[in-house]
Chains A and B, each alone.
Chain A
Amino acid sequence: MAGIWLDALDEIARTCREHGRADLLLAVRQKRAQLLDPKLRVLVIGEPNQGKSQLVNAIVNAPVCPVGDGRTTVLPTVVQHAEVASATVVQAASAPGRAAGTSVPVPAERTPVPLDQIAAGVAGTLGRRPGGGPAYVEIGLPRALLGAGLVLVDTPGADEVAVLGAAAPPAALHHADAVLLVSDSTRELSVAELNMLLHVTRQHPNVAVVQTKTDLVPDWRAVAERNRQHLAEAGVPAALIPVSAALRLRAAAADDHGLNAESGFPLLIARLQRDLTGKADVLARASVAMIARTVVEQLAAPLRAELESQEAEEQSGPISRLHAAQREVDELRRCSTRWQNTLADEMADLLSDIEYDLRDRTRQILRMVDEAFDTADPLVAWDTFQEWLQQSLVEAAEANHEWLAQRCDFAARRVAGNFARYGYDVLPPWSMTVPEDLLDRLPEIERPTIDRFTVSQKAITGMKGSYGGLLMFGLVMTLAGMPMINPVSIGAGALFGGKSIRDESRQLLRRRQATVKTAVQRHVDDFFVRTTKECRDTTRQVQRMLRDHFTALTEELQEAIIQSFRTAKQAADTDAAVRDQRQREIRLKMTRLAAVYEQAQQLTAPRPARPLEPRA
């Protein structure tokens, strides 16, 4: 029968080795050695003053452990079989902690203690060097019960779980085959005791609660009943055995079987003997199942954590970087369409705006020219006028250019705005200034041919007009008998002559004005056409420059993004492969662990096995 659980245990050990957990392997090996040892180590724990030492005494029917007022067990006491009664203080030579943790046997210092000074030994005042390692007392007794392999370990009282872990090696929990928690009948199990029980039952299959001092309390049955309830409520699978050490010792002294039965000890001893004979089988199976559970839990925990962390990693790993790169590429494509549209739109707007502006300015100039020449005589004002016109046109051209420059800059910035998210300093290195030589580029306006009203023309015109007047009045006068040439007719002739001269001169002025106006209009039209042409050229140049610049930039960006996309894709591909493999490995390991666990649980057949599914 022993073979089955031994196989299971070896399987567990192999698993530990595979997982590289030397610490667990050591624990399993120790457990193996301990299970193969036919001795049954019973650890007696509990709060101070509950009657632990007295319980040990009562079990072996001898006052081996000192009991009494104010006697406190300081060192763990190991009571085992020996041919002659003996007592020894054993102290590990090295630093505390090593003895429990290494498989190399630590040289221990053994100091024999006279039997009548056991009390001093147990109180830690005899046979122990101060500052040495953890010590314990070994007591040998010639008793049949002990001879069968029972080893009792009495421990110092402790009401906290932490103290249990820090005990000397023989009192350590994992060395024990059975644990008895001692609690006296004067009160129910305390919260601290229940906590301790929960802690112990988690790592130990064989735990019992011994309720001592039943002789002292009349209602110990009620206390026992409530204790059983507490155990059930807390989910502690431990039996409760009420005993009275006083009755047992008394019964032994008087050889009174009835009293012995009343003390409750036969039940406890029967249980211990059952454990002893069943150690190689029932107890071992339970132990193996228990150790399988702890080992599998310990091994599975990091694997589970790894799986979970991998799942979390998928959110931030190479795959997500690949997705980000993909998004970048799309974004860049959208961006390039966007900037082209922006550029075209901006430039078209700019052109129409600039043209309108120039047209507006020239029209204003022309209006002023019209107004001026409605009254002024080009003959007199031409020079001043020419200067003014020149200046106005230059000013108009300058303003227009300046605006053009601003608008171009604005358009460039609008287009560059599309690249803002790439963080590039993307404005092209250009600057447009208003050309200085606008004045020189302006076409020279030539003086229009203007008809002058010369003196001879005036004379002829005057003569023509005066002739008609002289003749008209002369003829009328002749009728009156006056000579044709008389002062009146001459006066009329002069009047008429003067009028025709004046009329003629006014007509000439009109003609001159019209000529000048036409000439100026033509000139301004020339100017407009020429300037517009220049503007268009400039605009087109700017557009072309911007387009080239931003195209180059887009290409550069695209190159970089595509590159990163490619690396991301590559990384994601390899990573996915690695992770898949690791996950498969972990799943495989988990399945194996589950199998090991299952095998161990099969040992304790009646117990329903809790399957351990690897979590996906």
Chain B
Amino acid sequence: MTVGLRLDEAVWGLLHQALQLYRDNPRATDHLRHQLAQLEQPLRIAIAGPWRSGKSTVLNAIMGEEVAPVDGPDGSGVFTWYEDGPRPRATAYSTNQPPQELAVAKSATGMRVDLVGWRAGELRDIVVQWPTRALRQVTLIDTPAITGPDEQGRSPVMDRVLRDADAVLFLTRDGRGTDLRVLESTRDSAVGQAAPVNVILVLSRVDEAGGGRVDALLTARQLARQQYRDPRVNALCVDLAACSGLIGLAGRVLSESDFAALAQLARVSREDLETHLLSADRFVRGELPVPLDPGVRAALLDRLGLAGVRLATTLVRTGCDSRVKLSAELIRRSGLTELRESMSRFFVDRRDTLKARSALAGVEALVRAEPGPGTGELLSAVEQILAGAHEFRELRLLAALRNARLGFDAELAEEARRLVGGDGVGLAIRLGVEHDATVQRLWEAASDAQWRWRDLAEDPLLRLAQRRGAQVVVRSCEGMLAELAEGGR
């Protein structure tokens, strides 16, 4: 996309420059080689959040299988990496022992890792290899609970998340207060300030909101959209999604027997069932008019939660008469689809940018930690890439468009957002045409947009910041045209 030196080439060059500079420092060299290797690896997405915010459940829901959590000996402190592999296996990395293979017990809907014989605080990382399509392009990281910021406003777990992951799904129950303050710590390096693109905020456990009403999920999604307009929130993340991991996961692993039980329940009249669904206790212990084993009921509660059971029975009653239909509806309602779409649009499609960003952040951190002769040049090289690379300019323009600093009217702002990749980086999405449009159509749309924005960029009535923004859009259009031309047709 970038005319001139491409971003990944520039980052590659920078890393080699750094390697040359630190050639006498084995630790730094290791670090840089690791960064270099990471450029080719799948995108690392960490799922972080405060205590009991539903991290493992969301991870399971994304994977579609019950593989998390791997609870450490004291239930904390362990980063669990989920990567693609030919067969299930788990390896434990501790602070003082060589890596050790862990026993993996497969279950119907996932697996469990046996963690006996480890003392608290000993384990650092567990790497789980799991054969699934979901992990083809990304590596997911389940992280320990993030504690509130300390006196310096730092949170050790969050620091490590930012160091180790290319992108972060930050889970929060309410998206306020302390949680946001931890997120604000992501923005204190030059790289962090220049490109706030690696965080999606997720309102989690939304099924429990509003006392577990049936429409809780819908209102939660509306709330998320409202909250995203709050400048304090949207300065910190690229997107805000509401997602109930529990219901999403239930939708993905719903079995025929679960469906049968739900269908059975749906046969009870609405008023009758409502009294039984008043509380979890009543549901498990009450006298239902239909034969349903208390064990099955408990299992249903476990899988769906009380709100989930309410939702599922309502759905069955209103037309979801098969497991497949119910699953699809549950997944749709849980917000999981939107979350995954968000992830693929903002993270997977921008893989190269995020990788480059991580590498730049890594170099910046290294240079700041171990200054020496020549590191000043390295730092300015980092800043030069940040300032010059078109990808980052697009991202900055996106950020500016998000909080309406530029003062474009709504229509123009929307178009600019789309063209610089605010909705996704695919050509069709950027140009706002149907995804199976012909090259001819794409070309027309792109050149049309280019001319219009070129006029805007030279419009003397606009403010300087707006003209600059328009220039960025023009550049994006040129890039698209170049890409189409390269396509050879």
Contacts and interface: CB of A to CB of B under 8 A. Distances in A.
Interface of A: 48-49, 51, 54, 68-70, 159-160, 186-188, 190-192, 213-218, 220, 244-247, 250, 259, 262
Main secondary structure of the interface of B (DSSP, over half): helix
User: 4 tightest A-B contacts by CB?
Assistant: A215-B279, A218-B280, A187-B52, A69-B219
B432 interface: no
Nearest to A215: B279
Interface string B146-172: 011000000000000000000000000
Contacts of A250: 278
Interface in B193-210: 205, 208-210
A48 B177 contact: yes
A54 B208 CA distance: 14
A220 B211 contact: no
Given A191-B147, A246-B279, 15 more contacts: A69-B216, A70-B227, A159-B177, A186-B208, A187-B51, A213-B208, A214-B280, A215-B211, A215-B212, A215-B281, A216-B208, A216-B211, A216-B305, A218-B280, A247-B279
A187 B173 CA distance: 12
Contacts of B176: 48
B301 interface: yes
B302 interface: yes
A285 B88 CA distance: 65
21 contacts: A48-B177, A49-B209, A69-B209, A69-B210, A159-B177, A186-B205, A190-B51, A191-B147, A192-B148, A213-B208, A214-B280, A215-B212, A215-B306, A216-B211, A216-B212, A216-B305, A217-B306, A244-B279, A245-B211, A247-B278, A250-B278
B352 interface: no
A215 B177 contact: no
B51 A217 contact: no
Contact of B279 (A186, A190, A192, A262): A262
B278 A218 contact: no
Contact of B211 (A54, A70, A160, A187): A54
Contacts of A160: 178
Nearest to A69: B219
Contacts of A213: 208, 211
Nearest to B301: A218
B174 interface: yes
A186 B306 contact: no
Nearest to B207: A216
The listed residue with most A CB atoms (<10 A of its CB), out of B219, B280, B305, B307, is B280
B223 interface: yes
B177 A217 contact: no
B52 A186 contact: yes
A160 B51 CA distance: 16
Given A49-B173, A262-B279, A246 B211 contact: yes
Nearest to B227: A70
A51 B219 CA distance: 17
Contacts of B283: 218
B307 A216 contact: yes
A159 B178 contact: yes
Contact of A218 (B148, B209, B284): B284
Contacts of B328: none
Where chain A touches its partner, the secondary structure class is loop
Contacts of A51: 211
A214 B208 CA distance: 12
Contacts of B174: 48-49
Nearest to A70: B223
Interface in B247-303: 278-284, 298, 301-302
Contacts of B318: none
B220 interface: yes
Nearest to A214: B279
Interface string B360-400: 00000000000000000000000000000000000000000
Contacts, number: 78
A218 B178 contact: no
B161 to A, nearest CB: 19
Contacts of A49: 173-174, 209
Contacts of B173: 49
Contacts of A217: 280, 306
A262 B222 CA distance: 33
A191 B282 CA distance: 31
A215 B307 contact: no
A244 B280 CA distance: 11
Contacts of B281: 214-215, 218, 220, 262
B226 interface: yes
A159 B284 CA distance: 33
Nearest to B50: A190
Contact of B302 (A68, A70, A218, A259): A218
A51 B307 CA distance: 16
Most chain-B Cβ atoms within 10 A of its Cβ — which of A51, A54, A70, A187? A70
Contacts of A220: 280-281
Nearest to A160: B178
A69 B223 contact: yes
Which of A54, A217, A245, A259 counts the most B-chain CB atoms under 10 A from its CB?
A: A217
Contacts of A215: 211-212, 278-281, 306
A218 B307 contact: no
Interface in B284-341: 284, 298, 301-302, 305-307
A444 B205 CA distance: 130
Contacts of B305: 216
A246 B298 contact: no
Contacts of A214: 279-281
Contacts of B178: 159-160, 192
B226 A70 contact: yes
Contacts of B216: 69
Nearest to A184: B208
B288 to A, nearest CB: 15
B278 A259 contact: yes
Interface in B18-73: 51-52
A245 B279 CA distance: 11
Nearest to A68: B210
A191 B52 CA distance: 12
Nearest to A259: B278
Contacts of B284: 218
Given A160-B178, A186-B208, A191-B147, A216 B278 contact: no
A220 B177 CA distance: 27
Contacts of B51: 187, 190
Nearest to B305: A216
Nearest to A188: B52
A17 to B, nearest CB: 39
A419 B205 CA distance: 87
A70 B211 CA distance: 12
Nearest to B279: A215
Interface in B214-256: 216, 219-220, 222-223, 226-227
Contacts of B227: 70
Contacts of B278: 215, 246-247, 250, 259
A51 B173 CA distance: 14
A69 B280 CA distance: 21
Contacts of A246: 211, 278-279
B369 to A, nearest CB: 30
A215 B210 CA distance: 12
Contacts of B302: 218
Contacts of B148: 192
A215 B279 CA distance: 4
**Residue among B173, B226, B227 facing the most chain A CB atoms (10 A cut-off):** B173
B398 to A, nearest CB: 26
Interface in B97-155: 147-148
B227 to A, nearest CB: 8
A70 B173 CA distance: 12
B261 to A, nearest CB: 15
A70 B228 CA distance: 13
Contacts of A191: 147
Interface string B84-106: 00000000000000000000000
A49 B301 CA distance: 22
